[in-house]
Structure 1
């Protein structure tokens, strides 16, 4: 279990170091997760006895505890959130609508340009 935890922390540390050295605009832990993914793909070991899998399963079994800091942050900054409620709601709805429109646009392009996709017609539409 310690070995798996060292792998996770080592990848996070390496990701943070890469971000500090290169200055790329990504959080270090995100780069560390990418490094961990590459390590897991290259190793191609798996199963119940893999230490990284054991640590991951342990963390997943206690996942609800990782929401406590976010909840505390909401309670601590509730006055600021209350004062900025309108911009927060507008940003959430706007990003949701933008994401929905983007997915619809990409799907329309895919149906129009990919061969064999969408040739069966839409539901309720007759094919000539």
Structure 2
């Protein structure tokens, strides 16, 4: 049963890739596939137990998905060294923007939640 749900996840990802290729939308195919899966679960009205178990198994082994990225980092250390300043600047700037936006959203939501 787990293989069937794993296939469903991959089919949703494939459908997302097809949508991106056909429409040219600048959104990653897996993101669109995840949205399609989400819409399907909304229509169904819940998450089947088998799908939840399959997702838990995938999340339990998520660290394995970072191995290719680690290999890429090790393979391109010279390039990363040459581009260290722009990479570091974008990471720091992106982190600061994320923290600022999160704080503003939380502040606004906190005010809406308290009675006046």
* TM class by smaller structure: 0.7 to 0.9
SS at match of 1:74: helix
> Are the aligned partners of 1:4 and 1:54 in contact in 2 as well (CA < 8 Å)?
no
Cα deviation, 1:39-67, whole Å, max 9, x if unaligned, reads: 122222433xx2x2232222122222111
CA distance in 2, matches of 1:94, 1:20: 31
The 1:115/1:29 distance shift into structure 2, 3 A limit, reads closer
Q: Deviation of residue 30 (structure 1)?
A: 0.9
Is 1:14–1:32's contact at 8 Å kept on the other side of the alignment? yes
Distance change in 2, residues 1:42/1:78 (3 Å): same
Within-5 A mapping of 1:7-26: 7-26=8-27
Q: What is the TM-score of this pair, normalised by structure 2?
A: 0.82
Partner of 2:85: 86
User: Which shows bigger deviation, 68-77 or 56-65?
Assistant: 56-65
1:6 aligns with 2:7: yes
Cα deviation, residue 115, structure 1: 7.0
How many residues are treated as equivalent by the alignment?
114
Structure 1 residue 111 displacement after superposition: 5.5
CA RMSD of aligned residues (A): 2.1
CA deviation string 1:69-101 (max 9, x = no partner):
110010001110011111111111111222223
Q: Does 1:29 align with 2:27?
A: no
Residue in 2 that maps onto 1:123: none
| Structure 1 CA distance for aligned equivalents of residues 58 and 8 of structure 2 | 14
Secondary structure at the aligned position of 2:25 is classed as: coil
TM-score by length of 1: 0.75
State which structure, 1 or 2, has the greater radius of gyration over its C-alpha atoms: 1
Q: How does 1:99-118 map to 2 (within 5 A)?
A: 99-110=98-109, 114=112, 116=114
